[in-house]
Amino acid sequence: MKQRVILSVGILLILIFFGALAYTLLNSAPKNTITFVYSNKVNYEPMIIATEKGYFEDEGLDIKVSTVVGGIQAAEAIATGSADAAAMGDAPAVMLMSKHLPVKVIARYGGGDKIHRLVSLRTITSPDDLEGKRIGLQLGSSTHGGFMLWASAHNLDISKINLVALNPLDMPDALNTGQIDAMAGSEPWPTNVETLCKDKVHELADFSGLGNSFPHVLVVTERLISKNPQAVEGLIRAIHRSVDYLKNNPDAASEITSKYIGLPKEIQKRCTNRLLWEIGWEDQDLQSMRITANFLKDFGKIEKVPDFDNFVDSHSIRKIK
């Protein structure tokens, strides 16, 4: 009888031990909750599709989405520690790196040199006509960097152009009421201006042919990479799947994204087609970001060009690809 009691107590202690061990292992496992910041606009369609289609959940991720107006606000969310991951254009990413924060660019998911457009009053017919005029821009944005590159290519004297810091949401009314003479932005901002102002405006230029592919990138904190590399890989796989869906199902993709971006489906599809969608990381992406960094430095937005080797971690994307 005594031996049975001892045996029962022994079994109970073993069960308690393994139960405690399982609880410890379970609670010490990496948490797959990620706060992800992006914008509900054309440049960020893969994120919209991944959220709508449940691709993040398929990767075992619990994504807490926070939407912002543009890449600058996404960069701020990373900088302040309120986000684990964010999608943004090249200029906000460069400015984030210049602050020497513990962040990494892990992939490019889209871009293309036709991503930004310059829309002006019809009375402005050439780049030279912009001197003395007011141009609405989201300063520090990828478009800002593209405009600086375009202006230099056309030998424009920036000191003779009034760059007006403007929220993209306010650009249509500002141009329609004569507060500005032109605006530059990525979709849907130029289309919104054309829709409201109609024949009063036209597309003066896009920023193509300048050697910059204007990559849009995924940025994560170093803490996320070190604590949960599997979650980072899952994030990339979900976006990879979204990019494939976007390219292979244009009608269905525009149906999804137009709900969030607010454009009619056909206009949404046309805007989408201005971009090149491909997830990866190539030398061209690095070269383009260096071009953007040099112009941001010349304009005084950053003090020095970042050492990109310290801020680009393409290990996860190359492993998946």
Residue showing tokens 């684990």: 84
| pLDDT given for residue 96 in this prediction | 93
CA distance 282 to 190: 29
Torsion of CA 188, 193, 194, 200, to 10 degrees: -170
Mention the CATH class of domain 33-111+213-320. Answer: alpha beta
Per-residue pLDDT in tens (0 to 9) along the chain, 321 residues: 545 544 444 444 443 444 443 333 334 434 568 999 999 999 999 999 999 999 999 999 999 999 998 888 999 999 999 999 999 999 999 999 999 999 999 999 999 999 999 999 999 999 999 999 999 998 878 898 889 889 989 999 999 999 999 999 999 999 999 999 999 999 999 999 999 999 999 999 999 999 999 999 999 999 999 999 999 999 999 999 999 999 999 999 999 999 999 999 999 999 999 999 999 999 999 999 999 999 888 878 899 999 999 999 988 898 876
User: What is the per-residue pLDDT across 78-101, written as a single tens digit (0 to 9) for each?
Assistant: 999 999 999 999 999 999 999 999
DSSP state of 307: -
User: What is the per-residue pLDDT across 97-115, written as a single tens digit (0 to 9) for each?
Assistant: 999 999 999 999 999 999 9
CA distance 86 to 252: 25
CA distance 142 to 186: 9
| Residues 257 and 268: beta-carbon distance below 8 Å | yes
DSSP state of 154: T
Domain-wise residue ranges, the chain: 33-111+213-320, 116-206
Burial label for 17, CB within 10 Å (0-12, 13-18, 19+), is exposed
Run of H or E including 87: strand 85-88
CA distance 83 to 80: 8
Residue of 46, 168, 76 lying closest to 117 (CA atoms):
168
User: What is the per-residue pLDDT across 189-231, written as a single tens digit (0 to 9) for each?
Assistant: 999 999 999 999 999 999 999 999 999 999 999 999 999 999 9
| pLDDT given for residue 149 in this prediction | 87
| Residues 207 and 116: beta-carbon distance below 8 Å | yes
Backbone φ and ψ for 285, nearest 5 degrees, come out as -65, -45
DSSP state of 312: B
| pLDDT given for residue 184 in this prediction | 98
Q: What residues have CB less than 8 Å from 306, skipping those under 6 apart?
A: 94, 97, 98, 293
Residue showing tokens 């959220």: 51
Q: What residues have CB less than 8 Å from 30, skipping those under 6 apart?
A: 227, 228, 230, 231
CATH topology of domain 116-206: D-Maltodextrin-Binding Protein; domain 2 (3.40.190)
| Residues 118 and 203: beta-carbon distance below 8 Å | yes
Q: What residues have CB less than 8 Å from 299, skipping those under 6 apart?
A: 148, 158
Run of H or E including 108: strand 103-111
| pLDDT given for residue 17 in this prediction | 42
